[in-house]
Amino acid sequence: MSKRVLTTESGAPVADNQNSASAGVGGPLLLQDQHLLEKLARFNRERIPERVVHARGSGAYGYFEVTDDVTGFTHADFLSTVGRRTETFVRFSTVADSLGGADAVRDPRGFAVKFYTEEGNYDLVGNNTPVFFIKDPLKFPDFIHSQKRDPFTGRQEPDNVWDFWAHAPEATHQVTWLMGDRGIPASYRHMNGYGSHTYQWTNADGEAFFVKYHFKTNQGIRCLSAEQGAETAGQDPNSHQTDLLQAIERGVNPSWTLYVQVMPAAEAADYRFNPFDLTKVWPHKDHPLQRVGRLVLDRNPDNVFAEVEQAAFSPNNFVPGIGPSPDKMLQGRLFAYADAHRYRLGVNHTLLAVNAPKATTARNYGRDGLMASNAQGRHAKNYEPNSYDGPVETGRPPAAPLPVSGHTGTHVAPLHTKDDDFFQAGELYRLMSAEERSRLIANIAGGLSQVSRDDVIEKNLAHFHAADPEYGRRVEEAVRALRED
């Protein structure tokens, strides 16, 4: 059987792919060697800019299967029938470090799910923690700047990390999560995933509900201590990627059970704390978990760069029956994520195979731009309405309208009867065993003791004291002991 001919990108056959053209044997190379120039130019450009956050990631394909009837809460088509399966792509990631960082580090993990539904792609972009450090998107760039590499030293600086947290008391809950036992998952397979934000579901009768998503790992929770994490990161910086890839290749397909907490929309206004505050959880005794289905990953990507790195998840990719809530952080992400992809991948990133709908066809009037492949022929129009059989609107709102009132302006979030920044952090501390508390204290003190300014340390200690007197006292004593050494 004759072999296929190697060609240039324009399709011309390549005569020699081992030797560059030169001016005589051993002479300087020639600018006219189109094949050499094309290969080098493409090589220079074959890596796209990495994500500002969540740069280091892994992904896999699979499916979501509905196991329980939730049609009383949402008319989303892919959730409408028990037993129905929808193809998915999931990307896991660390948050703060760059693409070359290690997997086994103390950091939240991204948990992003793309559902390729028959009504379009639905993206659920969350983390492995149910809460976050801040509750207003205006603070997000500052927060990330404080956690990333310092522009002068080129490394993550404890002074920056803890100084920001000192001025963000609402971060105390997430700091307690991060510095606790779940701060370093053993693998992506052995951690939970959360939508984190509050979302809106709407049923066929137009009734609105607010929901929170919980993906519970069926492999069980497994985490690493600080010492185990450092050892693992040194031995195999790609430990989570290696684990996920090899498990699926062996046919050991990881899975998660999806549950939701459901709150009728009418309850939100009078709930004892703001239900749209990303720094807080809904107690399960108020809103128990209700099972929805299971997520299974069973196929590795063929090309990490084309699929995992070019995968674009946007919280504004909703389907009918699911919509946003007044969660301020979610509202900011509705813009920021899609805009990040337009910058990093280009305005036509939705045409890439990993991002394009699979169970339906996208029909819209978006045209042209960099890397456009959506010309749609000479008779297709790029405006609407038109008289040429172009796609038309449905007139059916995908979700229930959100009520609004008051005056425009910059407003502090309204306080509910039991809103504060420390109560849930204290509850989380008191739920821990004695051993878990000791490890939490050691992890916090290890970082906080490196801060150079006493006033920053004192502000952070005040947060832990406010969460729980014992919590604050033990952190203070541990920090003092480390600084006196």
Catalytic residues: 54, 127
Task: For residues 75 and 320, give the distance between their C-alpha atoms in angstroms, rounded to a whole number.
Answer: 7
Provide the phi-psi class of 118: left if phi over 0, else alpha when psi is between -120 and 50, else beta. Answer: alpha
Angle at the Cα of 96 from the Cα atoms of 93 and 97, rounded to 5 degrees? 85
Whether 400 and 265 have beta carbons less than 8 Å apart is answered as yes
- Token digits of residue 451: 């801060």
What size, in residues, is the chain? 485
Note every long-range contact of 470-478, with CB atoms under 8 Å and residues 24 or more positions apart, other chains counting: 470/429, 471/425, 471/426, 471/429, 471/437, 474/437, 474/441, 475/441, 475/444, 475/445, 475/448, 478/441, 478/442, 478/444, 478/445, 478/449
The 3-state secondary structure of 405-442, one letter per residue: CCCCCCCCCCCCCCCCCCHHHHHHHHHCCHHHHHHHHH
Q: Which amino acid would we find at residue 450?
A: Q
**Contact (Cβ atoms closer than 8 angstroms) between residue 181 and residue 436:** yes
Q: Under a CB-based contact definition with an 8 Å cutoff, are residues 110 and 95 in contact?
A: yes
Three-class DSSP category at 32: coil
Query: What letter represents residue 258's amino acid?
Result: L
Look up tokens 């195979």; give the residue.
Answer: 353
Q: Are 330 and 197 in contact (CB under 8 A)?
A: yes
Report the alpha-carbon distance of residue 73 to residue 200 in Å, rounded: 10
Count of CA atoms in the C-beta half-sphere (13 A) of 462: 13
